[in-house]
C-alpha cells in the first residue's frame, strides 16, 4: 500500500499542477485568443483521436498490465511480450488508417456544415492518433512497474505548457491558426518521445522477434485483449460520444462551449486518475495470488478517500461556478455551459464514489461481464444523447452522461457484491455526504465578496477548513487523522 500512496501522492500533485495549467489554458487563454468554433475544433480533434485509440491498440493497455506479472521475472519473456503488443498496435493502426481513408467522404457527411472545418485537418488527427496509440503502450509499460509519475507529468504538465506556448505564439502573430493546429502534433510527439527514452533508461528494451518463450500465453493474451478491446472501445464511446454528437448535431461553436464547461466539471475527478493508475497493477498482482482480503481493504480505502476528495471538490466547485465563469474572457458566450458544470461534476463524483470497480472486474475471472455491461452502457449513452441533445442542447448531453454513469456503476457494484462478496461502502460513506451538505450550506450563508478572486479564495479556504475539521472530528478516515496529527504526508 505504501507504494500506492507515494505514487498516488506525487501523481496527484503533478496532475493538479496540470489542472492549474489546464485551467489557465481552457478558461482564460483559449477563450481570450480563440473563437468558440476554433476551441471546438481543437477539442474535437483530440476527442476523435481518443475515441479511436481502442481500435488502434486492441486492448493492449489492459492486457499488458494483466499479463506482465506472469513475465516480470524473465527478461527474455518481458521483451517478447512487449514486442508482441507493439506489433498489435502497428497492425491495428494500419487497418484503422486504411478504413478512414476509404470511408472519408461517408464519415464527413455525418456532420453538419457547421463542423466542416474538422475535416480540413484530417492529417493532424491521424498523426495525433498514432502518437497517442504508441503512448498507450509505453504508459502501460510504466504502470505495470508502479511508475506513473512521468505519464502524469507529460499528460498533465508538459502538454499543457507546450499548448500555452503555442497559444502565445499564435496570439503574438508569430504563427497563424493553421500552424497552431499543426503545433499540437509536435506537443504529442514530444510526449511519446520522452516516454520512450525514460522507459528505455528504466529497463533496456530489446526487440526479440522470437516469441517462442511466450507462445504458450499468446492465445490467452489475444482472447483477453479482444474482450478488453470491446470493453475499452465501448467505454471510450461513453466518455467521448457526447462531444462527438454535440459537434455533429449542434456544430463546433457549441462544442467549444460544452467542452470548456465539461473541463470545469471534470476537475474533481483528477485524483481518481492517479489512484486508479497505480492501483491497476496492485489489483492484477493480488487477483493472481487470490488475495481478496487485501483487495477488499484497498477497495474500501480508495473509495472513501476518493469520496472525501470528490465531495470536497464538488462543493467548492458549485460554490464558485459563477466566479469561475466571471474569469472567462467573453464569459457571456460561455455562460450557457453553467448547468453542464453542475451535471458533469456530479457524474465525475459518481465515478469516484464507486472506487475502482471497473478495474476490479476487468482483472478478475469475470472480465467478460465488463464487456457486456459496457456495450449496454454505450448503447444507452448513444440513445440518450440522440434524444436529449436535439431537445435540450448541450445540457442534454450532460444529463445523458450522468444517467448512463449512474446506471453503469450500480450494475457493476451489484455484480461485485454478489460475485466477490465485497463492497467499497461503509457508514463513513454516508458521513462524507452529510459533511459535504453541511459545508455547502455553511459557506453558502456567508456574504459574497465583490472581488471575484477574493470570493474564490474565501469560499475555497472556508470550505476546505470546515470539511477537513469535520471529517477529522467524525474520524471518517484513519489515514487522514494520522496525517493531520503527524503533519507529514510521506
Q: Annotate 171-189 with DSSP letters as a single string.
A: HTTSS-HHHHHHHHHHHHH
Tens digit of each residue's pLDDT, the chain (490 residues)? 445 555 556 666 777 777 788 888 888 888 889 888 888 888 888 888 888 888 899 888 888 888 888 888 788 888 888 888 999 999 999 999 999 888 777 777 666 555 566 778 888 999 999 999 999 999 988 888 777 778 878 887 899 999 999 999 998 889 999 999 999 999 999 999 999 999 888 877 777 677 777 878 888 888 888 887 877 776 677 767 787 788 777 887 888 888 888 888 888 877 676 666 666 667 767 777 777 778 878 888 888 888 898 999 999 999 999 998 988 887 788 888 889 999 999 998 998 888 788 778 877 788 778 777 777 877 888 899 889 998 898 999 999 989 988 988 898 899 999 988 888 888 999 999 999 999 999 999 888 888 999 999 999 999 999 999 999 999 998 888 887 777 654 4
In whole angstroms, how far apart are CA 77 and each of 73, 105, 144, 149, 341? Answer: 8, 44, 15, 26, 47
Q: What is the pLDDT of residue 165?
A: 93
Asked, for residue 490, whether it belongs to a domain, the answer is no
Asked, for residue 81, whether it belongs to a domain, the answer is yes
DSSP state of 83: H
Q: What is the pLDDT of residue 164?
A: 92
- Angle, alpha carbons 152-67-365 (nearest 5°): 105
Nearest to 36 by CA among 241, 245, 247: 247
- Dist CA 147 CA 152 (whole Å): 10
Asked, for residue 314, whether it belongs to a domain, the answer is yes
- What sign has the CA pseudo-torsion 87, 93, 96, 102? negative
Asked, for residue 441, whether it belongs to a domain, the answer is no
Asked, for residue 228, whether it belongs to a domain, the answer is yes
Neighbours of 463 (CB within 10 A): 23
Domain count of the fold of the chain: 1
Burial 261-299 (b: 16+ CB within 10 A, else e): bbbbbbbbbbbbbbbbbbbbbbbbbbbeeeeeeebbebb
Q: What is the pLDDT of residue 1?
A: 46
Asked, for residue 216, whether it belongs to a domain, the answer is yes
Q: What is the pLDDT of residue 214?
A: 82
Distance from the first to the final alpha carbon of the chain:
12
Q: What is the pLDDT of residue 311?
A: 93
Q: What is the pLDDT of residue 490?
A: 42
Q: What is the pLDDT of residue 276?
A: 63
Asked, for residue 97, whether it belongs to a domain, the answer is yes
Nearest to 1 by CA among 349, 281, 358: 281
Neighbours of 192 (CB within 10 A): 20
- Dist CA 148 CA 32 (whole Å): 33
Give the range of the structural domain holding residue 252, as residue numbers without chain letter: 2-425
- Dist CA 427 CA 418 (whole Å): 20
Asked, for residue 458, whether it belongs to a domain, the answer is no
- What sign has the CA pseudo-torsion 415, 419, 421, 424? negative
DSSP state of 203: S
Nearest to 14 by CA among 156, 147, 122: 156
Amino acid at each position: 500500500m505504501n507504494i500506492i500512496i507515494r505514487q498516488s501522492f506525487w501523481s496527484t500533485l503533478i496532475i493538479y499542477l496540470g489542472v492549474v495549467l489546464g485551467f489557465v489554458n481552457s478558461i482564460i487563454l483559449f477563450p481570450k485568443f480563440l473563437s468558440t468554433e476554433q476551441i471546438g475544433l481543437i477539442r474535437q480533434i483530440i476527442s476523435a483521436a481518443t475515441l479511436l485509440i481502442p481500435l488502434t491498440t486492441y486492448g493492449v493497455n489492459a492486457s499488458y498490465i494483466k499479463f506482465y506479472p506472469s513475465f516480470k521475472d524473465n527478461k527474455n519473456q518481458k521483451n517478447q511480450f512487449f514486442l508482441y503488443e507493439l506489433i498489435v498496435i502497428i497492425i491495428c493502426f494500419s487497418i484503422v488508417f486504411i478504413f478512414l481513408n476509404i470511408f472519408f467522404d461517408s464519415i464527413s457527411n455525418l456532420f453538419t456544415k457547421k463542423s466542416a472545418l474538422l475535416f480540413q485537418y484530417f492529417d493532424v488527427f491521424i498523426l495525433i492518433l498514432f502518437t497517442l496509440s504508441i503512448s498507450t503502450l509505453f504508459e502501460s509499460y510504466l504502470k505495470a512497474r508502479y511508475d506513473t509519475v512521468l505519464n502524469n507529468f507529460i499528460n498533465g504538465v508538459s502538454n499543457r505548457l507546450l499548448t500555452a506556448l503555442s497559444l502565445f505564439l499564435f496570439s503574438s502573430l508569430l504563427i497563424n491558426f493553421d500552424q497552431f493546429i499543426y503545433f499540437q502534433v509536435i506537443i504529442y510527439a514530444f510526449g511519446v518521445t520522452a516516454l520512450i527514452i525514460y522507459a528505455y533508461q528504466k529497463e533496456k528494451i530489446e526487440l526479440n522477434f522470437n516469441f517462442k518463450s511466450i507462445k504458450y500465453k499468446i492465445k490467452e493474451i489475444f482472447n483477453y485483449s479482444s474482450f478488453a478491446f470491446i470493453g475499452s472501445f465501448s467505454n471510450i464511446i461513453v466518455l467521448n460520444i457526447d462531444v462527438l454528437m454535440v459537434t455533429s448535431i449542434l456544430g463546433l461553436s457549441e462544442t467549444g462551449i460544452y467542452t470548456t464547461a465539461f473541463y470545469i466539471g471534470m476537475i474533481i475527478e483528477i485524483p481518481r486518475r492517479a489512484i486508479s493508475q497505480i492501483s491497476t497493477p496492485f489489483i492484477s498482482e493480488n487477483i493472481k495470488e487470490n488475495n481478496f482480503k487485501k483487495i477488499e481493504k484497498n477497495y474500501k480505502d480508495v473509495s472513501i478517500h476518493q469520496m472525501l476528495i470528490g465531495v470536497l471538490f464538488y462543493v467548492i466547485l458549485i460554490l464558485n461556478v459563477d466566479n469561475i465563469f466571471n474569469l472567462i474572457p467573453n464569459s457571456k458566450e460561455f455562460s450557457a455551459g453553467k448547468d453542464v458544470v453542475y451535471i458533469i461534476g456530479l457524474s465525475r463524483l459518481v465515478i469516484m464514489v464507486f472506487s475502482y470497480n471497473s478495474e476490479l472486474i476487468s482483472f478478475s475471472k469475470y472480465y467478460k461481464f465488463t464487456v457486456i455491461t459496457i456495450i449496454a452502457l454505450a448503447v444507452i449513452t448513444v440513445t440518450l444523447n440522440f434524444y436529449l441533445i436535439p431537445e435540450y442542447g448541450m445540457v442534454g448531453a450532460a444529463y445523458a452522461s450522468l444517467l448512463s454513469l449512474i446506471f453503469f456503476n450500480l450494475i457493476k457494484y451489484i455484480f461485485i457484491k454478489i460475485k466477490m462478496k465485497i463492497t467499497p461502502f461503509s457508514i463513513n460513506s454516508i458521513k462524507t455526504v452529510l459533511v459535504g451538505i453541511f459545508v455547502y450550506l455553511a459557506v453558502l450563508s456567508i456574504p459574497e465578496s465583490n472581488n471575484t478572486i477574493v470570493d474564490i479564495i474565501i469560499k475555497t479556504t472556508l470550505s476546505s477548513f470546515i470539511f477537513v475539521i469535520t471529517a477529522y472530528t467524525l474520524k471518517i478516515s484513519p489515514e487522514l487523522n494520522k496525517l493531520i496529527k503527524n503533519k507529514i504526508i510521506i
